[in-house]
């Protein structure tokens, strides 16, 4: 079918995670993460305000706990049942206009150590 979206690999890093967790529509699309919504949006606003004062971007310390919690919860949900995280793929499909398969996340909470890799 010509209406089908293409399938492409999507590699996401910290900046992609910040953008996703700063979008109120993400939490509508993925109610399994609704518990994180208020904190994520509040901290995202603080991050945006800090970016306006800083030529090098926002203060990562503001969003680090949110991204940490999301990343670890995403992995736990996926381990319990792969279908638990399909809402993330569906959200990304809407945003990217292609089906992200696989979605590969690289995340390093601190400057020490190697980034963690997670794909689904």
* pLDDT, tens digit, 9 for 90 and up, residues 2-56: 368 999 999 999 899 999 999 999 999 999 999 999 999 999 999 988 877 766 6
Closest CA to 15 of 67, 51, 82, 55: 67
Q: Where are the domains of the chain?
A: 7-119
Determine how β-strand 7-12 pairs with β-strand 116-119.
unpaired
* Token pair for 67: 């991204």
Residue percentage of the chain with pLDDT more than 70:
94
pLDDT of residue 76: 97
| Residue 97: strand, helix, or coil | coil
pLDDT of residue 69: 97
């Amino acid at each position: 079918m010509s209406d089908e979206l293409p399938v492409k690999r999507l590699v996401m890093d910290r900046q992609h995670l910040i953008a996703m967790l700063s979008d109120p529509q993400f939490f509508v699309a993925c109610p399994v993460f609704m518990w994180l919504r208020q904190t994520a949006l509040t901290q995202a606003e603080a991050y945006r305000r800090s970016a306006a004062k800083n030529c090098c971007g926002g203060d990562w310390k503001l969003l680090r706990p949110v991204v940490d919690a999301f990343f670890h919860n995403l992995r736990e949900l996926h381990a319990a049942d792969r279908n638990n995280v399909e809402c993330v793929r569906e959200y990304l499909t809407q945003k990217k206009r292609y089906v992200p398969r696989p979605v590969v996340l690289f995340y390093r909470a601190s400057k020490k150590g190697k980034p963690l890799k997670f794909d689904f």
